[in-house]
Structure 1
Amino acid sequence: MASSYRFELTNQTNSDDAANSTVRWNGQDRILPSEDQDSSALDSFDMMGDSRSLENLDPHHRLLRPGDLVEILLADSNRDPVIAVFVRRLGFSILSQFLTSTGKWVHAPDASATFAVPNYIKPELVDKMLPYLPEHDDADMNNQGNLFDLSVPRQASGPVVSRLLNFQKESQEVYRRYAARLDRAHELVADPEDLKFSTLGRIGMILLDRKNEADLSPVDLFTVRLALTRSGFAFGYDRRHHRLTATIYIRSKTQVAMIDQVREWIRQYRDEMAQRPGLKDPLHAKFQSSGGQIIQKFIKKARVVIKESRLDREPTQMGCLSPSKKRFEITENQDSYRYRKGVEWSPEEQLIVKFMEAWACQRRFRGLGNLIAQPSLILRATGMYNDVQLTTGIGFMFLQEIGCVVPWENRIRYDENLLIPQSEHSQQLAKMSLLINKPRANPSALIIPDTLKNFRQEKDGIVTYCLDSASAHEIDDGISLEPQADGTAWVHVSVANPTAFLEKDSMVSKVAQHMTETIYSPEQSYMMMPTWITQRFFSLDDGRPCLRFSARLDDEGNVLEYDVTAGYTREVKFIDPSEVNKALGIGSQGSEYFTLCVGGTPPEGQKKAKKMTTAEDINPQMKRDLERLIALANRRGAARGAGDALQFSFREQDVKVWGNYQSPGLGWHGSSFDAVRYTEGDPIIQIKTKQYTPHTKVGGRTDASDMVQEFMLLASYVGAKWLHDRGVPNIYRGSLPVLEKGRETSTEYYARVIRPYTEKNGNLVPYHLLSEYLLRSNPGTMAMEPLKHDQLGLTHYSRVTSPLRRYCDMLSHWQIGAVLVEEHRKGRKLQPQEVEAIVPFSRQTLESMTPTLRAREDRIKRAKRWGQNIWTTQLLFRAFYYGEMELPKTLTVFITQARSGIGFPCMFKEFEIPCLLTDVEDGRLGDEYEVQIVQVDVYNTQTKVRPIRLISRANFVPE
């Protein structure tokens, strides 16, 4: 469902403290952590796989292999990055082991490596060092490393270190040869006014005067990266994924000049304060320099603005302001908050506000030592933040106090790596998005006639069940049942078919490619495709075009036949899954959910976008259809889950915010740079949740939501098989087959632990056992050939069921559409040798897309999770500190993750919201504690709790 939150077995913290704690170094330097080192369990395995199969399936080395040369950034940005070689992963932790060019070892997440040269050093040379390296991460040994020489003996490390030093030497030679161009990199490649996107290779061609990217050696590319790193703010990139995508953000000359200008003003102000000891009060001093005068004028005005703001909202140390002292009840004519314009900023002051926003909201100065300390000087000069540490969180609150951002802002919306068009990082992207989202005066300029119209098939007399919530933004899919005389049944999954109306290079398609997915967040959804187009033309309804993924199943859930056809949906019924459950008397009917709310009572009676079928509307024939579909889904799940494939359901949590009467959500408000924008009143925040239990259902799917999930997997299997049968270039998803070198695999763990547990306790398995299972599972990947998906139990899997909100699904739909057109023309099934010439995307093109697609999908997944967490944290903040909702004096938590930074990630039992348990040394996954909330940190979306007592230990499982 579009607005639901799915609990994931991942680290739920995202603070700088947590990230810094994951680095071990036997020396004095500190690594600059990636922004998101809450790596999931699926990214932390000992990948000692068969080199040939891994090279074919993972050519970009997403999984680093022994012998890969890497670049690791230091926290001190004034120093060049460290060159190292990847050695191995450390057990089931997120840390890997590297050996640097100085002969020192370092333990850090793979995400710390921002550049790599695959297979640079022979693995056998790396193997010779293993006896001298620690086999696991040990903080005590790390401390010894600062006192004693724990380096690898030269006779073992010498050949490796020599290769690393040679690489460094060659890079220095390239830099000397092209220094005149490399030192002017930004001047040579930047746009005067707009953000540009490029790659390391394309920039390298310009700076090193090469005609083709193929002419650039790994040394050349590293040297170019070094030049860009030395350029500081001028270039940006997604630290977590840059090693695979090589994408570079080239900031405009105007923006870089703005940062340099404000920094110069701050320097003049600071120098004048230091050189004239009598200037103790910056508010009343007489500055001689223009920079000092501009800064002084700004802080004077900011003080007045802040004092007025504090008449309505109090400052806190949690990276946000208190709720407003003013309340507005939502009515048809009144919103829950309103804006009031304050003083205007001068052009120079606007630059300072933008400078502060880049630091605290967008966090663009991270790792830039020459910039990171500058904004705190402005905060200190105001005299309004004397008793607090001047962190980016306080800087973010400062932006709220001066009316630049709203007090409840979700700062992930400004993430340069996410690049939401409305954030206006890129003017070109913003203009394209604005153009396609304009009122639908001329749709023919954006869409083309139906390319599959001549052979769409009707399915008369068959109901299409679209099971989703009434608030769903778009309807991608529906399910139909077609019983056969022999007792089998065709299950048809009808999927919206926008690609039949869109050319792959159209403006709508280009924006969709950039967005990659619709980003759902409680305050606003950022749509991959314009809402007016999807709702008017593509979202499923009676008579809408679709692609139909069909499978004939026997009573055991086995697929006997399958096909993909173009058609129309008829007799469409929109039903909330809970209504199906209610009609059939099964599963979750919504009664176990309860509501948490702050800010008032949510408005009722908003207009519904579509007519929903209720339990009372389900007639006997529909009931028989749905009962048969659920029975088939159960059998299909059992067939798919044979062996060690697990099928488990995670809970859902519905988070909504209201600012107006018409509908949930707040819309886009952006930053205010030209004038102060006071915000009076606050949104209503509502969470529908239920108690958390430390186990989940494994197998035995029994309700309507489970049925939908099962048949979406069936459609994804059918689509992948159909494409593979014809040799169509396509992106498949599966598990990398790896050799674990003596370590227990997920299959072995399933047989040893999971199966005996379910045989004894039914199909409810504790999360801590599932976490251990996932840690032993092979990692997921994208590939050009089908791979068995271990966790799903599928031999073929491609995403095809959500083309209105996922670009990857659109790619498969375009390929399918092209083949259907040609097969209709020829009157027969195409052979693999005929396909390449007629499909829109070649294998090479799709393969080149996969690193960026994967990176975008990962970034969006994290943004969605952050979007949910920011609002649940704000609800707890308003309840805990301001009493807007009654909270129990003590709460119960279960540990859901291994220690991360200063504590253990947990989940509140009472309302299934994540938190961090501190002051516990011997916690184990699944442990239950009675706790008290001690801090609700909105800026880092982190609720800290302290233990009162241990209630119970998790069930002990023998090693």
Structure 2
Amino acid sequence: MDCDLLFLRLWSPRVDYATSTKNRPRGAFGKTNIPTSLPKTSPAVDKRPIRQRLQEWVAINDPDREVTPIVPDLTFWNTVTNSNTRPQSTGSSELDNFKSDSVSMVGPDENYSKEDAEVGIVGHKSHAPGDLVEMKQPGSRTPLFAIYLGFFGQRYHFYTNTGRWVMSMGFSALFSVSKFAAAKELQPVLSLIPPNATADEYEELRKQDQGPGRDVGAYLINKMKNFMLEADEAFQTSLNNLDRARSLVSDGKKTKYLSLFELADLLLPNSLKRGTRFPPAALYAVHTALLRNDFIFRPLSPSTDCHRKDHLFEIFPYQDFMMINRVTLMIREYIHLMAKTSGNMMSSDMSDTAFGTFISKARQIVLANRNKRSWTPFGILTPTKGVTLETGEWSRKHIEFIRFLEWWASYDLFEDSSHFHADGSLILRALDLYEGADLNQSCAWTFLQELGIIPPWEIPSRYKVRFPEVRIQSGGGLIRETPVNIEDSTRSDVAEGARRDWADTPVFCIDAPSTILIDDGISLERTDKPDEFWIHVHTADPASGIRPNSELGRFLELIPENIYLPGHFQAMLPNDLGLDNSGDYKSGSLVEQYSLADGRPALTFSARLNEYGDLLDYKIEPGTLHNVKYLDPRDVAEFCNEPPPPPVSDQTLVVGEPPNKLDVAPNRPLMSAKELDDRSKEDLLILHRLSQALRKRRLEKGAWPVFLPGASVTVAFEDVPMEQAEGTRVLPADPYIKVGYDAFNGASVVTNTMVLAGEIAARWSSDRKIPLPYRRDANSQTNRTKLLEYATKELYPLLEKGIAPSGAQRQELTRLTGGIEMSAEPGPYFMLGLDMYAKATSPLRRFSDLIVHWQIHAALAHERQVNRRLDPKTDDLNDILPFTEETLPNTLSLLRMRERMARTVSRGTQEWMLMAVVRAWQFEGTAPKRMSFTVDARWKQGVSGRVDLFDMPALLSTDGIDGLVLIKDIKVGDKFDVELANVNVHARSMFVKALKHYPNTRAELQGR
């Protein structure tokens, strides 16, 4: 029973009288209604404390003390909550649901490309035990303030400022302070939490209050309390500015991007600084003030430390805020008119309002388009062989409604509990087009498809990741402002006159036939010793002709690496970007100018090796290639007799018809390895042998032995006419989608020599104290012995059998390595088995590689000028290098954020997979009828887990279980036979229905 209601009942005793007047009709008077006796006196007021009376009431009315926690309005798979009328601050464990967002600006580190596979296993540097984090519970307006305790038992653990032990499957911190509590301060709390229990056992301990309580964590509670008091004091000191943050910071028409400490400089007095920086508590005061503004301030990439440059806020212009308020006001006017007419508004009344005319026109267009293509509740429209849709012409006010729906459905701009969600639903309700459907963001996405605003196969997650200063093109790519005059960003060859002429040396460029941009190749040079060779890794050399810190350089930095999302490939350096018209001709593109070919420049990383893979010497020099040979990696692997890759599943899912242009002819003359001359064949075989020796050396240092392939997606479209009639949109047939596994990981000679080049770049630069974007582990140097033992004894034997590491094993590896970070100083990289490493072989595809080349070219130019090796003790590196120890860290923090954004976009392949599942299930009848589902976590409303269809995540709700088994009897690791129940591409969700339950034993659970 609600406590407030109980309180009223206890304090409002009903007064009974000893006459019949209590049954007297209202308004009855006269002699017959005169009371015949005095009323009884009221019973004595119970003056006992309310707690004592409540305890007595519970003893009488609920003797078994059954605790029934409030079930949140939000079921665990939704994103919209009601925290206005039900703030839900009960302390219930049901609210401890800090799952990582399925799509966020910088999402979890998984499903990376092959060249970044090691990042996908251990992740980037992330939170460490002792960090102070602020998180948000679903359905609660009160943020959770807690100290992170670590990841164990397949759960994240926290100790909150209220003295509670909290667990979660994942979390996305809104605000973080690194190293807030020392390890010895956490020990009393951790000692009461068993490190090797299962998730179910942890939950049982929490229910029985057997975990750490307020007494054992009193010191941590007090430390968090003092932090909050300091933040409150800073807030009160700057109350005037913080309350006016929106007007002080936001621009009238342009979106801005500022870090948290840059915002603090604008809003806080300098008197709050400690030295040159604001303390974390003052930054937290700014953080809380900004998040009170619905919509204007959006955290773009909350980092693991509030002081980092990449802790950015996206600050929307004031005109956007006013536009949203105008839409809200017009919707409210419509609702008032509906109320006045009891819901029977005349068409003339509808035509008198902008909202009414928008609804009428939108209905007309959608109903006309439904004659050609019907809608579905699955986040896509019914597939067709091609269709022409009406799009109509819209007024300015009408466009505002469409823009609002785009923001609501696509851009993830509103908080879970924002009242703007209601406005979106009201628009959909007024349309009266989606009977029986939930009027949510997925429904709005479908409406935009039916209007022709977005194509029916658009990837929703593309809109949730917004690169600073980059616009998203509907159905296309990303739009940056192209430099006005590229000539101002170029320079004459910085290595002119100093390039080595590689003459007839054969350079093997080994890339897939579909590759357009060729940025690396390898060659062999013999020495006077028969068992020693030089391996040369030749890379494209755009840094020699593009100025660092130029307008073109900033253009490339905005999208810092190629994005390989099927159907939406986005190049860092577009193929058509070239010099402006000069005279009576247009120059070739920069890609054509620098992609490796005969006569093109190269920057070469060279290593002298023996047959055992020992690195004897290394050097870097610019050069020009003259004998480039293009090879297919599959052909090279076969020629070198590489062992077959580990077996993978032959599972495939194909929908649609492949277009005629599916297999495009390569843009260069490919040749077979068998067509090489005898000397070149021998070179290739020696290169392969040396690369295997290099790999063996790295494996001895703990390098990851094999990267198991994940599901890959192929997408292909038919062409559409370039010219389309006004007010229409011509859509081709729905795309051909193929999902499957490819065991081939590329030719090992390429993989191992590219890693070698990165090691040479790092060593050569480290010798000269040159700051680079080094890739390194955060903690592996201190944990090396434990790390090597754990990896070689527990993980690698499983990998050799083709068994992927479990989530718990990956988290343990992350804990030991500390995750991978980008730093201006070198350090060990355990996953590659290297003492130091910097990516350097793809300057046409990665901005970090371009930075490496700029730094190296500057150092080489100085060495040629002074005719000696650069000496950091006598030479001023700040005058020599374009990126210094002071400036590079800021560049790297933003680069790190943008790289993670690019990889998050690339993970949109999950939506292509869901799209293929929907089409195979509902329209082509080729989806599997029965699947196996493994439970990852249990909730009050169901369980989450994965199906054996490409290891896709899925949900099994109470409706899907349908009484087959009680939720409380389901354990993590249990298996079910299931069938598809519902799939939604926009929501990235798959619901299944249980057919049979297979309980998991304790022994099996421990073996997972």
TM over 0.5: yes
Return the match for 2:986 from 925, 939, 953: 939
User: 1:92-139: CA deviations, max 9, x gaps?
Assistant: 535231312x33343347743222233445554443344556766856
| Aligned partner of 1:99 among 160, 166, 180 | 160
Question: In structure 2, do the counterparts of structure 1 residues 847 and 546 end up closer, same or farther at CA, with 3 Å as the change threshold?
Answer: same
1:256-275 superposed matches below 5 A: 256-273=321-338, 275=339
| Structure 2 residue 297 is the aligned partner of structure 1 residue 235 | yes
Find the aligned partners of 2:708 and 2:509 in 1 and give their Cα distance: 21
User: Do the aligned residues in 2 keep the contact of 1:317 with 1:388 (CA within 8 Å)?
Assistant: yes
Could you tell me which of 382, 400, 404 is aligned with 2:453?
A: 404
Asked if the contact 1:870/1:938 (under 8 Å) is kept, the reply is yes
Query: Cα offset for 1:793?
Result: 0.7
In structure 1, the residue matched to 2:870 is 830
| 1:916 pairs with one of 954, 960, 977 | 954
Q: 1:797: how far off?
A: 0.9
> Which residue number in structure 1 is paired with residue 801 of structure 2?
764
Distance 1:141 1:887, change over 3 A: closer
What residue in structure 2 maps to residue 311 of structure 1? 371
Q: 1: distance between equivalents of 2:859 and 2:785?
A: 43
Q: Which amino acid aligns with 2:512?
A: S
| Residues 112-261 of structure 1 mapped to structure 2, 5 A cutoff | 112-121=172-181, 123-131=183-191, 138=199, 153-210=213-270, 214=276, 216-239=278-301, 241=303, 243=306, 244=308, 245-261=310-326
Q: Aligned pair in 2 of structure 1 residues 856, 344: CA closer, same or farther (>3 Å)?
A: same
Question: Is the deviation greater in 359-368 or in 548-557?
Answer: 359-368
Instruction: Give runs of aligned pairs for residues 524-923 of structure 1, distance below 5 A.
Output: 524-532=568-576, 533-584=589-640, 586=642, 597-604=654-661, 606=664, 608-615=666-673, 617-651=675-709, 655-660=713-718, 677-687=728-738, 689-690=740-741, 705-737=747-779, 745-753=786-794, 763-768=800-805, 772=809, 775-777=812-814, 778=817, 779-833=819-873, 834=875, 836-837=877-878, 838-866=880-908, 868-883=909-924, 886-887=926-927, 889-890=929-930, 902-908=943-949, 912=950, 914=952, 916=954, 918=956
CA drift at 1:520: 1.8
The farther-off stretch of 551-560 and 238-247 is: 238-247
Query: What does residue 471 of structure 1 align with?
Result: 514
Distance 1:340 1:452, change over 3 A: same
Greater displacement, 790-799 / 579-588: 579-588
SS for the counterpart of 1:556 is coil
The answer as to whether partners of 1:31 and 1:74 remain within 8 angstroms in 2 is yes
After TM superposition, the score normalised by the length of structure 1 is 0.81
Contact 1:550–1:715 at 8 Å: present in 2 too?
yes
Higher RCO (Cα < 8 Å, 6 or more apart)? 1
Instruction: Determine the structure 1 residue equivalent to 2:404.
Output: 355
Amino acid at match of 1:875: A
How has the CA–CA distance of structure 1 residues 517 and 92 changed in structure 2, closer, same or farther, with 3 Å as cutoff?
Answer: farther
Query: Where does residue 63 of structure 1 map in the other structure?
Result: 127
- Is the contact between residue 128 and residue 150 of structure 2 (CA under 8 Å) also seen in structure 1? no
Larger Rg: 2
**Secondary structure, aligned partner of 2:535:** strand
2:821 partner amino acid: T
Letter aligned with residue 221 of structure 1: L
Is the Cα–Cα contact under 8 Å of residues 345 and 675 in structure 1 kept in the other structure?
no
Amino acid at match of 2:149: R
Q: Which residue of 2 aligns with 1:330?
A: none
The alpha carbon displacement at 1:187 in A equals 1.2
Letter of the 1:499 counterpart: A
What is the identity, as a one-letter code, of the residue corresponding to 1:781? E
1:796 alignment partner, SS class: coil
Q: How far off is 1:253 after superposition?
A: 1.1
* Structure 2 CA distance for aligned equivalents of residues 139 and 227 of structure 1: 38
Q: Deviations over 1:609-649 (max 9, x none)?
A: 22222356334333222222222222211111015332213
| 2: CA distance, partners of 1:24 / 1:853 | 41
Specify the alignment match of 2:54 in structure 1: none
Q: Is the 8 A contact 1:916 1:942 kept in 2?
A: yes
**C-alpha contact 1:489 1:554 (8 A) present in aligned 2:** yes
User: Equivalents in 1 of 2:820, 2:411: separation in Å?
Assistant: 30
Indicate how the Cα distance of structure 1 residues 112 and 388 shifts in structure 2: closer, same or farther if over 3 A, else same.
Answer: same
- 1:322 CA drift (Å): 1.4
Alpha-carbon shift at residue 882 of structure 1 (Å):
1.0
Distance 1:265 1:183 in 2: 27
Q: Distance in 1 between matches of 2:797 and 2:664?
A: 50
C-alpha deviations, 1:531-571, integer Å up to 9, x for none?
23442211111121111111112112221211111112221
Equivalent pair of 1:94/1:109 in contact (CA under 8 Å): yes
The equivalent residue for 1:374 is 423
1:73 corresponding residue in structure 2 = 136
In the TM superposition, residue 930 of structure 1 has moved relative to its aligned partner by 7.0
Find the aligned partners of 1:354 and 1:200 in 2 and give their Cα distance. Answer: 28
Aligned letter for 1:112? S
Aligned equivalents of 1:865, 1:222: Cα separation in 2: 32
Instruction: Return closer, same or farther for 1:525/1:272 CA change in 2, 3 Å cut-off.
Output: same
Distance change >3 Å, CA 198–CA 299, structure 1 → 2: same
Instruction: State whether residues 731 and 784 of structure 1, in contact with CA within 8 Å, keep that contact through their aligned partners in structure 2.
Output: yes
Do the aligned residues in 2 keep the contact of 1:199 with 1:248 (CA within 8 Å)?
A: yes
Q: Which amino acid aligns with 1:508?
A: L
Counterpart in the other structure of 1:456: 499
Q: Which moved more, 1:260-269 or 1:223-232?
A: 260-269
Match of 2:33 in 1: none
Query: Contact conserved, 2:713 with 2:737, CA < 8 A, in 1?
Result: yes
Change (3 A) 1:159 1:597: closer
Q: What is the CA-CA distance between 1:931 and the residue it aligns to?
A: 5.9
Alignment of 1:510 onto 2:570: no
Structure 1, unpaired ranges of 5+: 1-14, 44-57, 328-336, 437-441, 698-702
Q: Note the alpha carbon deviations across 1:466-525, whole angstroms, 9 max, x for none.
A: 111222231121111122331222111111111111122212210221212121222132
Which shifted more, 872-881 or 393-402? Answer: 872-881
Structure 2: 5+ residue stretches without partners? 1-74, 82-88, 113-122, 577-588
Aligned match for 1:364, one of 406, 409, 413: 413
Contact 1:582 1:589 in 2 (8 A): no
1:87–1:70 distance in 2 versus 1, CA, 3 Å: closer
- Contact 1:24–1:142 under 8 Å retained in 2: no
In 2, the alpha carbon distance for the partners of 1:770 and 1:29 equals: 23
By how many angstroms is 1:844 displaced?
2.7
TM-score by length of 2: 0.77
Query: Which amino acid is the alignment partner of residue 954 of structure 2?
Result: L
Deviation at 1:168, TM superposition (A): 2.5
Q: CA contact under 8 A between 1:583 and 1:618: conserved in structure 2?
A: no
Query: Could you tell me which amino acid in structure 2 is paired with residue 634 of structure 1?
Result: Q
Please give the secondary structure, in 1, of the residue aligned with 2:217. helix
User: 1:530 Cα deviation (Å)?
Assistant: 2.9
Question: Which of 524-533 and 586-595 deviates more?
Answer: 586-595
SS in 2 for 1:794: coil
**Residues 406 and 679 in structure 1, CA contact (< 8 A), matched pair in contact too:** no
Contact 1:898/1:905 (CA < 8 Å) preserved in 2? no
Bigger CA drift: 635-644 or 812-821?
635-644
| Alpha-carbon contact 1:517-1:528 (below 8 Å) kept | yes
Residues 41, 401 of structure 1: alpha-carbon distance in 2 compared, 3 angstrom cutoff: closer
- Superposed CA deviations along residues 437-494 of structure 1, whole A, max 9, x for unmatched, are xxxxx75344211111221112222211111122223112111112233122211111
